[in-house]
Amino acid sequence: MLTASEGINSLKAPFVGLIEVYKTIMIFVDEVTIDVKAGTGGNGAVAFRKEKYVPHGGPAGGDGGKGGDVILLADSNLSTLLDFRFQRLYAAEKGVDGASKDMYGKAAKDLILKVPIGTVATDLDTGRVVADLTTHAQEKIIAHGGRGGKGNAHFASSTHQAPRYAENGEPGHSLSVKLELKLLADVGLIGYPNVGKSSLIAAVSAAKPKVANYPFTTLIPNLGVVKVDDDPTHTFVMADIPGLIEGASEGIGLGIQFLRHVERTRLLVHILDIGGQTGRDPLEDYRLINIELANYSQKLADLPQLIALNKIDIAEEDLITLYTEHFDELGLATYPISAATGEGTKPLLFAISTRLQEIPRHVPASDEVTYINTRNTASGLRQSRRGRDWVIAKGEAEDEYVVSGASIERLVAMTPMENEHAVTRLQRILERNGVVTKLKALGAKDGDSVRIGSIAFDYIDEDFEEDDDL
Ligand SMILES: Nc1nc2c(ncn2[C@@H]2O[C@H](COP(=O)(O)OP(=O)(O)OP(=O)(O)O)[C@@H](O)[C@H]2O)c(=O)[nH]1
Ligand SMILES: [Mg+2]
């Protein structure tokens, strides 16, 4: 039975532990979701060379400047994504509007977001990796600023010498991105809690992780540089992560949020405690942890593994032989070691270094991704080879139609609606591209509402009007 004071102490210990976990997780933020918005382009200007609205003076409205991009920049001075916890939206500035006398608006400054090396950014809508930064000072545009609207000087032609419209700036690209910090180590140490992972990294590198005789001592990953010999190409980075237990892939223990850190290693060292002091079966631990790896991702399960049988300084001789033979039969290279005394660690390190030289390095995912930026053509709408790139659907209300498509929505967003000449031009482009005919075919009636992007228009049936005039 517990005495009163023992009872309090045994309650206090896990409580203190929880606060520790909480504090550590607060410091080591390795996943955040943010919204980024690149700057809208500056508006094009409507201006004439000599006097306003004297057509023969010639149009002289300058273009707007480009909106700012949102850029991720890898910085080796940062180690967490913590700063992003306190702000959700990051928006770059709008380009400066064009002015008269053909003056271009200035491009806006880009918004640069510094992130730690190893940050991977994923577009939450498409699931595509938009940045994967692996070296200091590497940068990647994740949201492109809109181009500046064209000033009226651009729209002059032989038949239309005095255009009184200009474009508004193109809206900047916006997206929600998940930022994840994935450590870039060559080899990852995995194993049940308390098997001696931190002891090993402490023994073979300059890393100074906490080592203690209870599970979940390690709360955040530790990295250590391991120098095997004088050849710098043999040197590698080792990651020690918190211990894994059954259910780790579903979030039990601390495992899941750290598995991503070993996902990008090239090799795993699976550490088993054969010291015989815990009452656990190392083979069962080995089996359970491999199931967790496979449940987390096939990629993790497919990583090559070396086996390190730890604590041989206190293990029974015949158990060392038994386990070594067991894994040898499975075709797994097995190394009996003692992280405490250093015995056997040299052959393990050489084996790691040799294996790493056979395994190619991580290829940053975003190198394979090209950003596809659609641009309006002179006639206003981009026509894909497969035909038009817009669709019309019935809206929620009975008399409402919704026209959607990236380039048509951009065209509308870039039309200054307060400028009747610009609206007339928009009308013409919509007619020329078949939007009006299609609306009519779908049964649009005079007075119905047509929504394109964020703007609602009234549908005016010209035949109907003509009839009215009769
Ligand atoms: N006798 C002996 N004890 C060891 C050896 N390696 C580690 N230990 C002890 O085992 C206990 C756990 O070691 P850690 O290195 O903290 O284990 P871990 O795997 O990092 O544990 P978690 O961080 O909780 O997952 C400590 O008391 C170590 O001193 C070894 O080779 N021999
Ligand atoms: Mg540890």
Pair 178, 191 in one domain: no
**pLDDT confidence tier of residue 222, bands split at 50, 70 and 90:** confident
Is 331 domain-assigned? yes
CATH classification at residue 444: 3.30.300.350
pLDDT at 54 over 80: no
Residue 1: its pLDDT value, please?
38
Of the residues 182, 207, 236, which one is the last residue of a structural domain?
182
Q: Which ligand sits closest to the CA of 195?
A: 1
| CB < 8 Å & 24+ apart, contacts of 389-393 | 390/433, 390/435, 392/435, 392/438, 392/439, 392/442
Pair 192, 177 in one domain: no
Is 386 domain-assigned? no
Residues with CB under 5 A from ligand 2 (ion): 197-198, 217-218
CB 170 within 8 A of CB 99: no
Is 374 domain-assigned? no
Is 383 domain-assigned? no
CATH classification at residue 299: 3.40.50.300
Question: Taking residues 321-330, what's their average pLDDT?
Answer: 95
Quick one: the chain helix, strand, coil %, rounded to 5?
30, 20, 50
Is 21 domain-assigned? no
Residue 242: its pLDDT value, please?
85
Residue 231: its pLDDT value, please?
87
> Which atom of ligand 1 is closest in space to residue 341's alpha carbon?
31
Of the residues 182, 212, 241, which one is the last residue of a structural domain?
182
Where would I find the beta strands (DSSP E) of 75-148? 89-91, 111-115, 119-123, 129-132, 139-143
Pair 164, 262 in one domain: no
> Which atom of ligand 1 is closest in space to residue 219's alpha carbon?
23
Q: Give the count of domains, the chain.
A: 3
> Using N-to-C axis directions, what is the helix angle for 282-296 and 256-263, rounded to 10°?
80
Question: Taking residues 283-304, what's their average pLDDT?
Answer: 92
Q: What is the CA radius of gyration of the chain?
A: 32
Out of 189, 192, 211, mutate this one to test ligand 1's pocket (max ligand atoms within 8 Å of CB): namely 211
Q: How far is the CA of 428 from the centre of ligand 1 (A)?
A: 75
Out of 21, 189, 197, 199, mutate this one to test ligand 1's pocket (max ligand atoms within 8 Å of CB): namely 199
Residue in the structure block whose two tokens are 């019309």: 392
Give residue 219's domain range.
Answer: 187-361
pLDDT at 326 over 80: yes
> Which atom of ligand 1 is closest in space to residue 189's alpha carbon?
19
Pair 205, 344 in one domain: yes
Pair 228, 312 in one domain: yes
Pair 243, 112 in one domain: no
Pair 331, 221 in one domain: yes
Q: Look up the pTM and report it.
A: 0.68
Is 19 domain-assigned? no
Q: Which ligand sits closest to the CA of 191?
A: 1
pLDDT at 233 over 70: yes
Pair 277, 347 in one domain: yes
Question: Taking residues 337-344, what's their average pLDDT?
Answer: 96
Pair 356, 225 in one domain: yes
Is 384 domain-assigned? no
Give me the chain's average pLDDT, please: 83
Of the residues 182, 216, 233, which one is the last residue of a structural domain?
182
pLDDT at 370 over 60: no
Is 312 domain-assigned? yes
Residue 462: its pLDDT value, please?
67
Pair 170, 230 in one domain: no
The binding-site residues of ligand 1, defined as CB within 6 angstroms of any ligand atom, are: 191, 193-199, 211-213, 215-218, 242-243, 275, 310-311, 313-314, 338-340
Pair 172, 247 in one domain: no
CATH classification at residue 83: 2.70.210.12
The pLDDT tens digits for 82-101 are: 889 889 999 999 999 999 88
Pair 443, 404 in one domain: yes
User: In 156-214, which ranges are continuous DSSP H helix?
Assistant: 197-204
